[in-house]
Amino acid sequence: MFFQQTFVALGRALPAVIAPAIITDLFIDPAWIGIYFGLTALFALIAQLGCGSFIVRYGALRVSQISLVMLTAGAALAALGTPLSLVLSAVIMGGGGAVSTPASSHLLSRCSSPRYLPLVFSIKQTAVPAGLLLAGVLGPPLTEWTDWRATMLFCAASCAVLALVLQPLRRIFDTDRVPTRRFRLSDFRATLTVVLAAPGLRALSFACLAFNGVQAVFTAYFVIYLTTIGYTPVAAGFLFSVAVAVAVPGRILWGWIGSSYVSPSRVMSGLALGMAGSAALLALSSAGWPVLLVGLIACVLSATALSWHGVLLAETARASPEDMRGGVTGGVLSFGQIGAMALPLLYSGFLDLTGSYGIGFIACGLPALLVGVQLLRQRASAQARGSRY
């Protein structure tokens, strides 16, 4: 599950990391990068809402393979570089990448101790920054050595190979599948009903919306932003990789703390406030700031906006009906895709209106600030109620 999500994350992040080369070659406005990732998030939302029945019918491992095959097709289409192929790439990569997390959550929730779910899910979710790290380290140099099209084709080939490598494991991990399960359009409504009916799942859904939105903006615009304040694409990609590398131990650390010492809600409130504050600081940075300081801000943003997944997903699995963990996880994550769709579009709008990259970072950090404050208020209220009894 770690490897499948690593290559999914690599495929989804690579267009943003090599965006300067794509923009130069195709003569497109940087604001269209937000449109691309907004479209990706839209189809990710649809896929996550409807993936529950497919996971039950075909098995979590088979759905993981399907995810990788769709990433293969999407990356290959992007390499064509035409408007239609880029739209199809966003659609296919959005849908394919979206189902990898619900599938892995379904599989691991069957095999893990409930107490250590935050830690187990956090270890698994380190695959996302690992994929981003690979994109930042390999994407710009490979693009300079060949071109951006060859880089996307390399990514497509990697995903295809891993899909084949997973095949022998299917008979081990897909033993719980129900071949008679059918997909119905009512599955979308059923998933939303379960998620919105439970207060805990509703709160997790809004947190996922805010957190995933900040992550999407950081992933889509960080490298481009650095190139506008004097960094070369390779230097910006390297700094992106360094920042993303912090998220790997960060995810494990937050999962360990949430499993052993501090309540998951308190961990998430701290992460929310941290990502809002670091996004605001990044917005204020300029060409005159030391590289070390900009890197430190980026690392804090990465350690928060790219490190919340394990704790939130573990809480989601814990709050879900046992036979609907994959589907409910997809439902909660679908709200995250709303954030990943809306906030890059919001960022693009501010960029188009003002020409400033900084204002967008501040605006997109505000929902996370609201989540952090709300989680702190909920905990204070719970403690006040407890003190009365």
Domain map of the chain by residue range? 2-167+185-381
pLDDT value at position 229?
A: 82
For CA atoms 80, 81, 87, 89, the dihedral sign is: positive
Q: What percent of the chain has pLDDT over 70?
A: 94
Q: Across residues 219-228, what is the average pLDDT?
A: 85
pLDDT confidence tier of residue 370, bands split at 50, 70 and 90: very high
Question: DSSP code of 388?
Answer: T
Question: In this predicted structure, what is the pLDDT of residue 167?
Answer: 92
Chain centroid to CA 274 = 17
- Output the 3-class SS for the chain: CHHHHHHHHHHHHHHHHCHHHHHHHHCCCCHHHHHHHHHHHHHHHHHHHHCHHHHHHHCHHHHHHHHHHHHHHHHHHHHHCCHHHHHHHHHHHHHHHHCHHHHHHHHHHHHCCHHHHHHHHHHHHCHHHHHHHHHHHHHHHHHHHCCHHHHHHHHHHHHHHHHHHCHHHHHHHCCCCCCCCCCCCHHHHHHHHHHHHCHHHHHHHHHHHHHHHHHHHHHHHHHHHHHHCCCCHHHHHHHHHHHHHHHHHHHHHHHHHHHHCCCHHHHHHHHHHHHHHHHHHHHHCCCCCCHHHHHHHHHHHHHHHCCCHHHHHHHHHHHCCHHHHHHHHHHHHHHHHHHHHHHHHHHHHHHHHHCCHHHHHHHHHHHHHHHHHHHHHHHHHHHHHHHCC
Question: Which stretch of 159-163, 185-189, 224-228 has the lowest confidence by average pLDDT?
Answer: 185-189
The answer to whether 317 touches 190, Cβ cutoff 8 Å, is: no
Q: Is the pLDDT of residue 326 over 70?
A: no
- Residue 297, pLDDT score: 92
Residues 49-97: tens digit of each pLDDT = 777 778 888 888 999 999 999 999 999 999 998 888 888 998 999 888 8
CATH placement of domain 2-167+185-381 = 1.20.1250.20
Tokens of 126: 């380190």
Query: Average pLDDT of the chain?
Result: 84
Closest CA to 219 of 23, 13, 11, 22: 13
Name the more confident of 152 and 53: 152
Residue 322 buriedness (CB in 10 A; 0-12 / 13-18 / 19+) = exposed
Q: Is the pLDDT of residue 385 over 60?
A: no
Residues 6+ apart with CB under 8 A from 153: 75, 76, 79
Query: Is residue 388 scored above 60 in pLDDT?
Result: no
Whether residue 191 has pLDDT greater than 80: no
pLDDT at residue 214 in the model: 92
What would the pLDDT profile of 224-283 be if each residue is shown by its tens digit?
A: 888 888 888 888 888 888 888 888 888 888 888 877 777 888 888 999 999 999 999 998
Record the tokens describing residue 246, joined without a space.
């912090």
Gap between the Cα atoms of 106 and 327, Å rounded: 8
How sure is the predictor about 389, in pLDDT bands with cuts at 50, 70 and 90?
very low
Query: Would you state the pLDDT for residue 36?
Result: 81
Q: What's the rounded mean pLDDT across residues 364-375?
A: 90
